[in-house]
Copies of this chain bind each other. A is one copy, B any other.
Amino acid sequence: MKRTHQDIRRINRFAVMRHVIASAPVARRDIATAAGLSVATTADIVSELHDLELLAEIGQQESGGGRPRNLLAPDPDGPRLIGVDIAETYVHVEVFDPALRVLARAEEELHPQHNPPEHVVDRIVCGIDTVLDELQVPDDRVLGVGVSVPGQVGPNGKASVFAPNWNWRDVPLAALLAERIPYSVRLDNPLRASTVAELWFGAARGRDHVAVLTLGTGVGAGLAVHGAIYHGATNTAGEWGHTNLVLEGRRCRRGCVGCVEAYVGAPGIMQQLQDVAPDSPLLVPSDQTATINALAAALSVGDPVAEQTIAATGGYLGVAIANMINLFNPQIIVLTGWVADRLGEHLLRHTRTTAARYALDEPWEGTEIILCPIDRNPVSLGAATLVMEGFLSEAGTSSRS
């Protein structure tokens, strides 16, 4: 409950770094205005970020006869950040500079049937070695590794993954990684990673209250309150995918009855397609990706079966989003994940119609629903950004307040 001056210092550091990334090259005075800070405080934080090699002066700007102003940008030669996106079928690894630009990437396949923790850790280590070798980055230039795990991350870095063929329960992933890689590791799930990416680089930048909804095989939300991730009492806030939508309805992969995921996750959409047209050629049995791709292609040519399937799915999603709007009252709702990426505006059209009917007028008028505008993998980007946030949070904790 306590908020300290240290918290404020941290939030101000985030604001300065976000603005420099978004608007470089930029002068101290303009950072101060954008971040709502005094010039003195801004100069102090800039100096701190400069000492950490996250920022550099990259030139000067004339200032109408006065002394020219130094322009700042993220330091392209600064330390490297690594983002890892563990999905159910692959491990994706990216290296970033302090502007969070991708410098190199690697992808390692996972076994479709059998994924013991040691095997997944092997793939992560292999991916990291590949990208660091490619760029010739020495160990002491790596700020840390952010890892997104497709499940829940508990205290002490224990991960649970509920995907079929995984069945990880309280796997000590942080400890396993610490044995194999010499960098600090931060674990979280893709819902949080995507939300942090939206807060720094996407549609949520500068917004207070945000819900980022991931639609994929699994479904869930990341919530931000006052511009920062909201974790809840047990670090599980945002399990919107497992809120109930249909009393005594379908079960999801985790066994929840009638939850949102069972209707708007990829398996739920396949079920819907089957209900609409059991013999549809769009249905590729036990291949979610192929089926969703076939639906997307069919929608683009106005196929009635695809249209009916997505209308029904959008109806379910609309009710679930209206529930989010009525309870959480966000300023913006961002849809991300591979299903949102493929079905995009078609799905959103039906979703908006139903959500408008189920949401109360005031919060409905105070929000917007958009598709993720980030044109690269938001999960590995967000995972690396978690490293940046962690580093900025800890910087100066011993010497400054």
Residues of chain A touching chain B, judged by Cβ–Cβ distance below 8 Å, are 1-5, 7-8, 11, 15, 36, 152, 154, 206-209, 221, 225-227, 230-240, 242-247, 254, 256-257, 319, 322-324, 326-331, 357-358, 360, 362-363, 365-367
Contact = CB atoms under 8 A, between A and B. Distances in A.
Contacts of A237: 209, 327-329, 363
A171 to B, nearest CB: 15
What is the copy number of this chain in the assembly? 2
A322 B225 CA distance: 21
Given A239-B326, A244-B245, A256-B358, 13 more contacts: A3-B226, A8-B8, A225-B225, A232-B330, A232-B363, A233-B329, A236-B360, A240-B326, A243-B327, A245-B247, A257-B358, A323-B323, A327-B327
A36 B2 contact: yes
Nearest to A14: B1
A338 to B, nearest CB: 23
Contact of A1 (B208, B239, B244, B367): B208
A242 B3 contact: no
B246 A247 contact: yes
Contacts of A329: 231-239
17 contacts: A1-B207, A1-B208, A2-B15, A3-B226, A8-B8, A152-B362, A233-B331, A234-B366, A236-B329, A236-B362, A236-B366, A239-B363, A240-B327, A242-B326, A242-B360, A244-B323, A324-B327
A362 B327 contact: no
